[in-house]
Amino acid sequence: MSEITEQQEPKLYAHVDPIKDYVGRWFILLILLVVTVLAAIPDLGALAVPIAMGIAVVKALLVIWVFMGFRHATKLTQVWAAIALIFLFTMFVLFLGDYWSGKDRLVGPEGWEPTHSTER
């Protein structure tokens, strides 16, 4: 900390966006919130999950892009943000691939014990 020498001097190494950028994105987020609630009213069958998650992904991207400053971030920062997604999807693919690979389903109808544990 040091005493202010020039009052109200912006910190030049920061990207300062206009307030309307933030408020505008917030307003879009609110509209998407209403859309995702409305989409839960009719029976969409198998489409319900993809639609709800699709809207959530759009909302998440807006938050990351604007509020978390991703658009101004350096390449190295963007790579790390991408790594979060890569790790997450690797986990999804490995787990779900294992659980949903046909006859060896680990979740039986009675509970969450492995159904084939005694066969080994």
Place of tokens 């879009």: 28
Task: Mark 11-50 with x for binding to another protein (rule: CB under 8 A) and - for no binding.
Answer: x-xx-xx-x--xx--x--xx--x--xx-xxxxx----xx-
Nearer of residues 113 and 119 to another protein, judged by Cβ: 113
Place of tokens 């693919």: 93
- Which two structure tokens, joined as six digits, stand for 74? 């350096």
Q: Report which of 89, 75, 39, 78 is spatially closest to residue 59, judged by C-alpha positions.
A: 39
Sign of the torsion angle spanned by Cα atoms 62, 58, 53, 29: positive
Q: Which of 20, 83, 104, 119 binds another protein (CB under 8 A)?
A: 83
Nearer of residues 85 and 117 to another protein, judged by Cβ: 85
Residue 118 binds another protein (CB under 8 A) = no
Q: Output the smallest distance, CB 116 to another protein, in A.
A: 15
Q: Output the smallest distance, CB 19 to another protein, in A.
A: 7
Give the Cα-Cα-Cα angle 94, 46, 89 (nearest 5 degrees). 20
